[in-house]
Copies of this chain bind each other. A is one copy, B any other.
Amino acid sequence: MRMKSAAEFPKDQLPKFDSLQQQAFLELWKTYDCLKAEEEIVFGEFDISSQQYNALRLLKVVAPTPLAVSALGQRMITRAPDMTRMLDRLEQRDLIARVRRDDNRRVVEVTITAAGSKLLQQIAKPIWACHQRQFGHLSEEQLTQLINLLRATRKPEDEPQ
């Protein structure tokens, strides 16, 4: 986590109003929150959280190969420090299966079940429609631009492809 001291930004460079940077953050927050709320309505109809959906999605990608809990955790978008209990809930609903690996009994491997795949499939269309509603009015060019800017925000080194 790179840290620059605040002193690197001397007072006379401080904008009088909230900085453009803060504005960008607030817009990002607001926008994310709007879209997430709409998504959650869709997910809610299937009694699932976006976190859970994300986990299932990742498991589906590699299926039928299992994924260790830690590997799954690392690939999640939002860092989840509580994989265990999230997987508990999915397991109780028989959407995933857990197996302790034999050649290394510390790791627990997770796979998506048929029921889990089916649920994903059911969600796929409404969630796709949701994203269409949210971004459908933007041109392809605007979308790639947005995506590139978001990437550039996260990764200072690699600018637009």
Q: Which residues of A contact B (CB under 8 A)?
A: 1-6, 8-9, 14, 19-39, 41, 77-79, 125-129, 131-138, 140, 142-147, 149-154, 156
Contact = CB atoms under 8 A, between A and B. Distances in A.
B9 A129 contact: yes
A154 B21 contact: no
A154 to B, nearest CB: 5
Q: In the complex this chain forms, how many copies of it are found?
A: 2
B145 A145 contact: yes
A93 B128 CA distance: 45
Given A28-B28, A150-B28, A153-B135, A143 B33 contact: no
A14 to B, nearest CB: 7
